[in-house]
């Protein structure tokens, strides 16, 4: 399962996840009939966060991170555990 499938498979709303042995709060919000997904996650320690948007255009997902490296967002999406 790729990063986009992992996020698309989650329901909108808040999720408690684990990433790098730390608890995180993950929020998923959908817009434009599911063609745009906002991903925001914050470490419970308050020391880190993840923010990005996924866009479905012509059946292809694209990631636009918010003021952070794309690799950081992808690593989180691929690495978190429910």
CA distance 6 to 21: 19
CA distance 34 to 54: 10
pLDDT at 2: 86
pLDDT above 90: residue 8? no
pLDDT at 1: 67
Tell me how far the alpha carbon of residue 81 is from its chain's centroid: 12
pLDDT at 63: 95
| pLDDT tens per residue, range 21-64 | 999 999 999 999 989 999 999 999 999 999 999 999 998 999 99
Output the pTM of the full model.
0.92
- Of 41, 31, 28, nearest in space to 75 by CA: 41
């Amino acid at each position: 399962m790729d990063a986009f499938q992992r996020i698309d498979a989650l329901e909108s709303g808040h999720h408690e996840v684990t990433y790098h042995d730390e608890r995180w709060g993950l929020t998923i919000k959908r817009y434009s009939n599911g063609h745009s997904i906002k991903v925001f996650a914050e470490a419970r320690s308050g020391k880190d966060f993840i923010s990005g948007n996924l866009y479905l255009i012509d059946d292809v997902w694209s990631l636009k991170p918010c003021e952070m490296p794309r690799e950081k967002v992808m690593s989180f999406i691929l690495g978190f555990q429910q």
